Amino acid sequence: MVTLPTSLPGLDARYSHTLAVPGRGADRGRTRTWHYLDNAAELADRDVEPVGTILAVHGNPTWSYLWRTIVAAGAERSWRVVAVDQLDMGYSERTTAHRPLRQRIDDLSAFTEALELSGRIVTLGHDWGGVISLGWALEHRADLAGVALLNTAVHQPEGVAIPAPLRLAGARGVLAAGTATTTAFLDVTLALAHPPLESAVAEAYRAPYDDASRRRGIREFVADIPAATDHESRGTLDAIADGITTLDVPALLLWGPRDPIFSDRYLADLIERMPHADVHRFEGAGHLIAEDAAYASAVLNWLGETLHTPTEQLPTDAAEDDASFVPLWDQLEKHRDDSSLAVTDMSVSSEPVQVSWAMLSRRVRQLASGLHHLGVRRGDRVSLLVQPGPTLTAVVYACLRIGAVVVVADAGLGVTGLSRAIRGARPDVIVGDARALSAARALRWPGTRISTARLPRGAAALLGVEHTLRDVADAGRDEQLPPEPRAHDDAAVLFTSGSTGPAKGVVYTHAQLAAMRDIIAQHFDVTADAGLVTGFAPFALLGPALGTRSVTPEMDISAPRTLTARAVAAAVRASDSRIVFLSPAAILNVVATAGELTASDRSALDDVHTFISTGAPISERLLASTAELMPNATPHTPYGMTECLLVTDITLDGIRDATARADRGVCVGVPIGGNSALISALDDDGNATGAASAQPGVLGEIVISAPHLKQRYDRLWLTDRAATRDVPADGRWHRTGDIGHLDADGRLWVEGRLQHVIVTSDGPVAPVGPEQDLERVDDVRRAAVVGVGPHGLRQAVAVIENVAGARSPRIADTALAERLRAATSLPLVAVFEVPRLPTDIRHNSKIDRSRLSAWAERMLSGQRLETP
């Protein structure tokens, strides 16, 4: 055997041990020498009794060095960690014997028996070590406390090729040369790290494989991949794949989506086999997730919480559901014979599309029946890449009716964000137009393809289209529907805007969607006769659920700033609506185009009694300008987010009353319905560490609770955990990431995002208050205040849009800079003017302060002025 080097980066040589192990299976009668890492001695030195043992199994071509972080961290958290080098790998014995999957499992069992491991064992595996660890787990259930996996696979469908890199490595004539004779396979694997491995770490991985004879195990592992159904290890692999469906212990799946070997398809398969598993996808991580992401803390946190906290039990029978639950499609059933208009879409360039209640109800039932006939079942995911309008409305309600989970990730996320979202959600079906389906093919999105329109045969074949919506409706002419889904079944995955990082999937149940509908109807007095003008895509789908007609005005619904004042008036007049929903970005252009209104337009707008702006905070000045266009309407600006669409609400009069108190931030009113809002105070380092409370005047993170609060984040267990850290024990709460404070009257004031807090030498500063100061200066259209410099010593920089408009980014002239500095008590080290502040794609209104901060850093370092 080769001796382990005494100085490898991040590995304490004291953890290194060897053990003589009597063989099993084909090795029976032989003794093999294993190398492994073990922190038991450190725990003993501390006189700590371990709470359990993590049995960590590496894959190919790594070794126990992969687990060095969790070996050390486990000792700090009272977990014994045993990380093996499989035989013929790492610093374990080179046997020259044939070791298929079945033998590998026997080997591991022989090792744990020799080490006398028993009681409360959690397996942790990566790559083919994940398969072997699961094989061991299935045969040691009496001692098994949980299973955790990093990127791996347990099933290879017939007719589906194994991943290309493995196919190439295992090809005849390449296998030996690529895996043993040379270091090619090892080098390619190590190159999969994101970011690239430090050279010393890469050399540590290479250390046990310094000549061809020591790389034989790498070759044998590749050769043992059961790509064909007649492979000798295929039966063992299939038995493991089937067996894990019976595991009833806690499970954790940590995934690197950038893995070219084990793609999200394999994650979806594992989730289907272990639906109770906690899942977290580390965006940006790949195959070497143990190097790319903080997996060790994730595993240990999960163990600390999951093995001590009973799993929440949801109702398993429809009779146990809330008897008061009324599904979103209820109004469609009640209006089956109603010939009056339900939906009008004026956003298209030709004549408006008008759909009656009876037509919409029939279309929903036919599509629902057709989808079910074509094999879509309750819990299947359907990604809807369809422009807002009657077609999208019908498909959404059809999916909800049969219990399919609607995945809504709109084009506003951009190509990269949209692709990331769809791959993460892993839909079973994609419904889209030719453009969307072309993207699905080019970007290899998963799912059966359904086209919204009939395509030429060649184009349909090229795009992999199996059905059109007409085919689906034809298949459902009998309108035979399956039993309704339960209230607590998953209903939708809605994606956040991506304005503060990668868009996150937010899971809602049917009960939570219904609660959202109810709070809107009650708070805004939405009746059957009210009618809705919806210039904000998410609310364009609500009309049928609320039982009132709805109309989308002439605009590009994915670009809210394209909406004009005349288009709003035309929509109100065409539908006789009394309620108008708009986004802040839409309002900017509506106010800007108000001069184009005719007398007839103004007369129509006089009939509006409720105006609602939602999607981002809106200033009193802008809301007042809109109120002038609808003089008889009560303007509302609710506060909410994808995770909880409505939390608080305030009217224009309420804003004016609050503004008179000269508080900092944007007042968003008081919680509505059964909602609650508390504040977790910021510490001197800008972190929200305070206990959530209703104490007035405290700056901190906003923590909310509501009947329609999301169920969870989709496949983001760590994000879920962070969002519920240190929340009140009663009820379901969510940390919003927004900062603000409550005033003495219980009103909530929003002052920015947690990651945008400027931590100065005097403590944390929220950006919105100073931005408001600057926006009161003449000629300033919008302002952003961001920090530059080291954390704890940050300095403030102002970046403004001038009403007159700047053609290119520039340093503000001396006179303007002096006026701005005089307007706020926050010292400003620099003032810039830009043509337009960068905003999120979806709302066109949330300022991207993180991007601006990085831009300001570059500008102040002397780089050429560029557009942020």
- Model confidence at 502, in pLDDT bands (50, 70, 90)? confident
Nearest to 758 by CA among 717, 793, 719, 711: 793
pLDDT at 668: 92
**491: CB partners within 8 A, 6+ apart:** 400, 405, 406, 485, 508, 509, 510, 512, 513
Q: Tell me the sheet residues that pair with 354.
A: 344
Report how far residue 70's alpha carbon sits from residue 471's, in angstroms, rounded to the nearest whole number: 53
Res 315 pLDDT > 50: no
Mean pLDDT computed over 484-504: 87
Do residues 613 and 648 make contact, with C-beta atoms less than 8 angstroms apart?
A: no
Q: Which two tokens stand for residue 462?
A: 């090229």
Both tokens of 209, joined, read 């494989």
The answer to whether the beta carbons of residues 332 and 361 sit under 8 Å apart is yes
Ordered structural domains, the chain, with CATH: 13-158+230-306 (3.40.50.1820), 325-485 (3.40.50.12780), 524-637 (3.40.50.980), 658-709+716-755 (2.30.38.10), 757-860 (3.30.300.30)
Residue 352 binned pLDDT confidence (cut-offs 50, 70, 90): confident
148 φ/ψ sector (left φ>0, alpha ψ -120 to 50, else beta): beta
Q: Mean per-residue pLDDT for 597-608?
A: 96
pTM: 0.89
Residue 140: which residues within 8 A CB-CB, separation 6 or more? 109, 112, 121
Q: 672 or 617: which carries more pLDDT confidence?
A: 672
Lowest mean pLDDT among 3-7, 381-385, 639-643: 3-7
Q: Is the pLDDT of residue 316 over 50?
A: no
> Do 533 and 580 contact (CB within 8 A), yes or no?
yes
Residue 176 pLDDT: 76
Contact 245, 275 (CB under 8 A): no
> What value does the mean pLDDT take over residues 764-770?
95
Residue 376: closest CA among 274, 461, 494, 471: 471
Instruction: State how far the Cα of 281 lies from the Cα of 425, in Å rounded to an integer.
Output: 10
Mean pLDDT of the region 190-208: 96
pLDDT (mean) for 304-314: 62
Question: Rounded CA gap, 667 and 690, in Å?
Answer: 22
- Separation between Cα atoms, residue 161 and residue 515, nearest integer Å: 45
Percentages helix, strand, coil for the chain (3-state, rounded to 5) are: 35, 20, 40
Chain segment 398-412, per-residue pLDDT in tens: 999 999 999 988 766
The Cα 114–Cα 449 span in angstroms is 53
Beta bridge partners of 172: none
Where on the phi/psi map is residue 92: left (φ > 0), alpha (ψ -120 to 50), or beta? beta
Helix (H) / strand (E) element for 475: namely helix 469-475
Q: What tokens does 540 get? A: 């364009």
Q: Are 164 and 187 a contacting pair, CB within 8 Å?
A: no
User: Is-contact 644 622, C-beta < 8 A?
Assistant: no
Count Cβ atoms below 10 Å from residue 403 Cβ, excluding itself: 22
Mean pLDDT of 792-819: 89
Residues near 675 by Cβ (< 8 Å), separated by ≥ 6? 519, 644, 646, 647, 648, 704, 705, 706, 707
Residues 433-449 have pLDDT tens digits of: 998 999 999 888 889 99
Residue carrying the six token digits 């519920």:
724
pLDDT exceeds cutoff 50 at 312? no
Beta strands 795-802 and 780-788 are antiparallel
Residue 861 has pLDDT above 80, yes or no: yes
The CA distance from 468 to 472, in Å, is: 6
E strand segments, 553-695:
579-582, 610-613, 634-636, 639-641, 644-649, 666-671, 676-681
> Residue 115: what residue type?
L
* Predicted pLDDT at 310: 44
Q: Are 469 and 451 in contact (CB under 8 A)?
A: yes
Helices (H) and strands (E) counted in the chain, each on its own, are: 31, 36
Question: How many whole angstroms separate alpha carbon 605 and alpha carbon 598?
Answer: 11
User: What local confidence, expressed as pLDDT, does residue 503 receive?
Assistant: 84
d(CA 486, CA 510): 7
CB 168 within 8 A of CB 232: no
Say yes or no to pLDDT of 314 above 60: no
Compute the half-sphere exposure of residue 8: CA atoms within 13 Å on the CB side of its CA. Answer: 25
Residue 188: pLDDT above 90?
Answer: yes
Tell me the residue type at 560.
Answer: P
The rounded mean pLDDT for the chain is 91
Residues near 38 by beta carbon (within 8 Å), at least 6 away in sequence: 15, 17, 71, 80, 81, 82, 83
Other C-beta atoms closer than 10 Å to the C-beta of 617 total 22
SS3 767: coil
- CA 417, chain centre distance (Å): 10
Q: What is the pLDDT of residues 619-678, one digit of tens each?
A: 788 889 999 999 999 999 999 999 998 999 999 999 999 888 778 898 999 999 999 999
- Predicted pLDDT at 182: 92
Residue 466, pLDDT > 70, answer yes
| Residue 821 Cα distances to 41, 444, 818, 826, 831, angstroms | 61, 52, 5, 8, 9
The set of long-range contacts for 15-18, using a CB threshold of 8 Å and a minimum separation of 24, is 15/39, 15/42, 15/68, 15/71, 15/72, 16/91, 18/91
3-state SS class at 580:
strand
Helices (DSSP H) in 374-456: which residue ranges? 390-402, 414-425, 434-442
Collapse the DSSP code of 448 into the 3-class scheme (helix H, G, I; strand E, B; otherwise coil) and give the result: strand
For residues 605 and 574, is the Cβ–Cβ distance under 8 A?
no
Q: What is the dihedral of CA 447, 497, 843, 650, to 10 degrees?
A: 120
Taking Cα atoms as reference points, which of 132, 341, 334 lies closest to residue 239?
A: 132
The CA-based angle 677-525-341, given to 5 degrees, is: 130
The 8-class DSSP code of residue 660 comes to T
Residue 169 has pLDDT above 80, yes or no: no
Q: How confident is the model at residue 500 (pLDDT cuts 50, 70, 90)?
A: low
Model confidence band, residue 1 (pLDDT cutoffs 50, 70, 90)? low
C-alpha torsion sign, points 60, 63, 69, 70: positive
Q: How many CA atoms lie within 13 A of 431 on its CB side?
A: 30
Average pLDDT over every residue of 53-69: 98
* Secondary element (H or E) of residue 54: strand 52-57
Q: What is the pLDDT of residue 350?
A: 67
| 190 in Cβ contact with 288 (< 8 Å) | yes
Give one DSSP letter per residue of 9-23, joined into a string: TTB-GGGEEEEEEE-
Give the per-residue pLDDT at 52. Answer: 96
CA distance 819 to 827: 13
- Neighbour-count burial of 162, counting CB atoms closer than 10 A to its CB (0-12 exposed, 13-18 middle, 19+ buried): middle
How many other CB atoms are found less than 10 A from the CB of residue 817? 18
How far apart (Å, rounded) are the C-alpha atoms in residues 659 and 744? 14
